[in-house]
Amino acid sequence: MIDLKEQRTFKIGDVIMKQGEHGEAAYIIEQGKVEILLEKADGTEQRVGTRGPGAMIGEMAIVDNAPRTATVRAIENCELLEISANDFARRLLNADPVLRMTIQVILTRYRDTLVRADISNDTKAGFAAAESLEKNYLEQTDAVEAIKIENDFRSAMDKNDVEMHYQPMINLTDGQVAGFESLMRWFHQEKGFISPGIFIPVIEESGLIVTASQWALKASLKALKNIETKTGRDDLFMSVNFTSHDFSSPDFVKNIKKALKEEKVRPEQLHLEITERLLMGQPDVAKETLEECKNAGMSISIDDFGTGYSSLSYLHYFPIDKMKIDQSFVSNMMNDESSIAIVRAIVALGKNLNMKIIAEGIESLTEATMLKGIGCEYAQGYHFAKPMPESDAIEFVKNWKSPDF
Ligand code: C2E
Ligand code: CA
Ligand code: CA
């Protein structure tokens, strides 16, 4: 929803915006009527239309910052809701780059058509050539790169250039492999390995993540089943990452249940990894969805804990089973007292709330020993293993010997 900052009142005859001037706001007419006037080169005015309740006026100038293309005058007393140019600019900047670029290009084309049809004297008011403006928009946004990545990713999925790797999580109490986190891997035919840190946000923006996540879930459950069969361990879990887009897709829980059934995996073996951002973005939807998953027997982990929102009150609002301490705290633990303090605090908080704690990014035995001492239940990191393909994960479980922490 656009923030409607302020209600503005204009009296009959007031000029609400003036052709050629810089636009500070767009308005939605709540009450009253306005006329739209074009000032001609000879100084005369021509009425080109009227607008009443429910219409928006002045929207063009706040999209591209160009001068107003018409004058708007109240022909009745008016109540208007204001959308400030600053607020709109901020929203546009945060919008999906493809959406942002498309809005700007459509408007540029429209202004260009007006100029060419000689309806508007925008050129005099300083409207630059459409061609160079469009080029600017393209250069200013990451839209082109995002479109390329998205298209490439789509065909990579078809060509099996995307696969899942699995990183073990170790139970620090008994030293056993407890389960795996599934992580997506993309081997681009020309560019080589592309980090999920780059492509996940792009496919998230476009919504393609929903398809990718469903595919990832199925692949991860299949892998878990294979690991079970080949190692005789039927108590392992698989932790799968999900985003807010997945949560908002209509059949999210239904699809998960279907996949569990098809792959013959017990719901208790599936752990959903989500971020604090997801929970805070749409708390009520998230709560309902999580409760459905929880009631079906699945387990919920909060990923990257400690890096997101500072409010802790949400923790008991949602049915959370595990917290994953972000690797930034773990990697700083050795040379930074405050990181140790944070890890201790998170572990204590988890215990009080009846949640298990997983530490991420463990790169040394010293870190593992220290975390065990602090009371952390599970550990994941390069010290034990990097994410690996299914066949290596099978060998990893077979050959694993509990270490002496
Ligand atoms: P994440 O969910 O926090 O995943 C953990 C990341 O830390 C992984 O990076 C993993 O390879 C890396 N890591 C694990 N142990 C260590 C360690 O000891 N040291 C260091 N430096 N790094 C370690 P990766 O695979 O590059 O993934 C990055 C992020 O991309 C993930 O962060 C997750 O947010 C996202 N992602 C990856 N795969 C998927 C997926 O299938 N679905 C979704 N929605 N997101 C994914
Ligand atoms: Ca994760
Ligand atoms: Ca993480």
**Ligand 1 pocket check for 303: Cβ under 6 Å:** yes
> Among 153, 241, 276, which residue has the most ligand 1 atoms within 8 Å of its CB, making it the best to mutate?
241
The whole-angstrom distance between residue 50's C-alpha and the CA centroid of its chain comes to 41
Which one of the ligands is nearest to 197 CA? Answer: 1
Exposure string over 246-284, b if 16+ CB within 10 A, otherwise e: bbbbeebbebbbebbeebebebebbbbbbbbebbeeeee
- 373 CA distance to ligand 2 middle (Å): 24
- Measured by CA distance, the residue closest to atom 32 of ligand 1 is 197
Mean of pLDDT values over 80-90: 91
- 221 CA distance to ligand 1 middle (Å): 18
- 239 CA distance to ligand 2 middle (Å): 8
- Measured by CA distance, the residue closest to atom 8 of ligand 1 is 183
Mean of pLDDT values over 191-206: 93
Mean of pLDDT values over 190-197: 94
| pLDDT on residue 96 | 83
- 181 CA distance to ligand 1 middle (Å): 9
- Measured by CA distance, the residue closest to atom 21 of ligand 1 is 361
List the structure tokens of 161.
């250039």
**Ligand 1 pocket check for 195: Cβ under 6 Å:** yes
| pLDDT on residue 127 | 64
The answer to whether 59 and 80 have CB atoms below 8 angstroms apart is: no
| pLDDT on residue 1 | 46
List the structure tokens of 71.
């004058």
In the predicted model, is pLDDT for residue 368 greater than 80? yes
> Among 165, 193, 200, which residue has the most ligand 1 atoms within 8 Å of its CB, making it the best to mutate?
200
**Ligand 1 pocket check for 371: Cβ under 6 Å:** no
- 183 CA distance to ligand 1 middle (Å): 6
Beta strands in 75-226 (DSSP E): 78-84, 162-171, 177-188, 192-194
- 238 CA distance to ligand 3 middle (Å): 15
Q: Identify the weakest region by mean pLDDT among 37-46, 155-164, 175-184, 242-251.
A: 37-46
The answer to whether 72 and 17 have CB atoms below 8 angstroms apart is: yes
Q: Which is more confident, 313 or 157? A: 157
Mean of pLDDT values over 331-347: 91
Report the SS3 class of residue 49.
strand
If you search the block for the tokens 């690991």, which residue do you land on?
A: 227
- Measured by CA distance, the residue closest to atom 4 of ligand 1 is 183
- 327 CA distance to ligand 3 middle (Å): 7
The answer to whether 365 and 383 have CB atoms below 8 angstroms apart is: yes
- Measured by CA distance, the residue closest to atom 7 of ligand 1 is 361
Mean of pLDDT values over 398-402: 95
Q: Which is more confident, 69 or 387? A: 387
In the predicted model, is pLDDT for residue 183 greater than 60? yes
- Model pTM score: 0.83
List the structure tokens of 87.
């607020």
- 213 CA distance to ligand 2 middle (Å): 13
**Ligand 1 pocket check for 184: Cβ under 6 Å:** yes
Which one of the ligands is nearest to 216 CA? Answer: 1
If you search the block for the tokens 């991420």, which residue do you land on?
A: 360
Percent of the chain with pLDDT over 70: 95
- Measured by CA distance, the residue closest to atom 13 of ligand 1 is 361
In the predicted model, is pLDDT for residue 5 greater than 80? no
**Ligand 1 pocket check for 387: Cβ under 6 Å:** yes
The answer to whether 180 and 236 have CB atoms below 8 angstroms apart is: yes
**Ligand 1 pocket check for 193: Cβ under 6 Å:** no
**Ligand 1 pocket check for 352: Cβ under 6 Å:** no
pLDDT digits (tens, 9 = 90+) for 226-262: 999 999 999 999 999 999 999 889 899 999 999 999 9
- 273 CA distance to ligand 2 middle (Å): 6
